[in-house]
Amino acid sequence: MSTTSVYHEGERAVQHSAGEVGIADRNGVVIADTILGGARPFIGKQSMVVLASVDADGAPWSTVLFGPPGFAHADSAAQVSVDLPAALRDPEEPFWRNVAANPVIGSLFIELGSRRRYRINGALERLDDGGFDLAVREAYPNCPKYIQRRQLRRIDGDAAPALLGEGRALDDATRAIVRGADTVFVASNHRERGADASHRGGTAGFVQVVDATLLRIPDYPGNSLFNTFGNLTVDPRVGVCIPDFDGQRLLQLGGCARILHGQDDPQGLTGGTGRFWEIAIERWLLRRIPQRLDWEYLDASPFNPAVEA
């Protein structure tokens, strides 16, 4: 059996740099081209989906969409549908205009309350006033590590969406959101393989604000697939979104990433990998989420490495 169809050249390059090619081959067996039977009811009870989309210039954007449980459903193993009427969307959300122009979509169904997540990458098949369909190209479960548990207690749709601000360098308000972040989503893209949505979690402070335009993030031990880093090796443009769970806001960042292998890490900030990555921020958007969400924080992942004091 050949491995060439599972990984692209960027993923292979990072797997080599990390010395984890063999592990990636072993772990790649979980990647399927349809949705696992047991994941379909899981998708059907979710209230949020993390999405990666790509704008007209080819830059990836990360976002989160919310809806009542059942708003997303996998009626077949080959397709996911998301019901989100146009009237309930934020017109300022880049996702909608991105997918209208470029069909690639990465998605991550993540249930923060039980630390389960399922990744589905593919292409837009339908977009209309009722919602959209995503045709599955690849689908696989991800591990529960580094996910902070939160329960969505209530969701209602009566809040008015709003663009609260946009800019190039972080200001005080956006800097505070980054510093307090324990849950971050990353969008990356490969011109042939498409977009990828992934989760990064840690103890608040794990995303270091080096200055107003530079973030530094440790890369914890993972599944060795390096979907995100593989994409970023080929195309360094990256989209990041950070939910402000208490403030009903979503911070979306765009910029360029640089991967740093073999770094000195005397404090153990990387959990032993010696890998960091940096994001040179080029723009940000701060939006109010178009629903009212009532989150209850439960606990931090017992896998989170230490953060800098």
Partner 1 sequence: MPCLARYLIDAIIRHGPVVKEFHLAPEGGAPPPWQPGAHVELVFTSRAGASHRNAYSVVGEEGGMLRIAVQREEGGGGGSRVLHDEFEPGMTLEASAPLDGFKLHPGSTRTVLIAGGIGITPMLPMARALETAGASYQLHYLARDAERLVLAGDWQALGRDRVRTYATESEGRPDLGRMIGPWEPGCELHACGPSVLLEAIRAAATAQGWPQQHVHFESFGARAHDQDRPLQVVLRQTGMTLDVAPGKSILDAMIEADVFVSYECKRGECGNCYAGVASGDPLHRDVCLNAQQRAIGMTPCVSWARGSLLELDL
Q: Which residues are near partner 1 by CB under 8 A? A: 1-3, 19-23, 25-30, 36-39, 41-42, 111, 114-118, 141-145, 223, 266, 268, 271-272, 302-303
Closest to partner 1 by CB, 44 vs 205, is 44
Give the nearer residue to partner 1 in terms of CB position, either 95 or 140: 140
Complex with partner 1: residue 28 or 103, whichever CB lies closer: 28
CB of 99 vs partner 1, minimal distance in Å: 26
Smallest distance, partner 1 to C-beta of residue 179, A: 25
Q: How far apart are CA 15 and CA 17, in angstroms?
A: 6
Minimum CB separation of residue 27 from partner 1 in Å reads: 5
Residue with smaller CB distance to partner 1, 189 or 273: 273
User: Which residues have CB under 8 Å from 26's CB, separation 6+?
Assistant: none
Compute the distance between CA of residue 27 and CA of residue 39 in angstroms, rounded to an integer: 18
- How is residue 147 annotated by DSSP? P
Q: How far apart are CA 234 and CA 217, in angstroms?
A: 19
Indicate the residue among 2 and 160 with the shorter CB distance to partner 1. Answer: 2
Instruction: Kindly tell me which of 240 and 269 has the beta carbon lying closer to partner 1.
Output: 269
Buried b (16+ CB within 10 A) or exposed e, 236-250: bbbbbbbbbbebbbb
Question: Residue 295 CB, nearest distance to partner 1 (Å)?
Answer: 18
Q: How far is the CB of 173 from partner 1 (least distance, A)?
A: 34
Q: E strands along the chain, which residues?
A: 48-54, 60-66, 72-76, 79-83, 104-111, 116-128, 131-142, 149-156, 162-167, 183-190, 194-201, 208-211, 214-218, 237-244, 249-260, 276-288, 292-299
Phi and psi (nearest 5°) for 238? -140, 145
Minimum distance from CB of 253 to partner 1 (Å)?
27
Do 14 and 226 form a contact (C-beta atoms < 8 A)? yes
- Amino acid 194 reads G
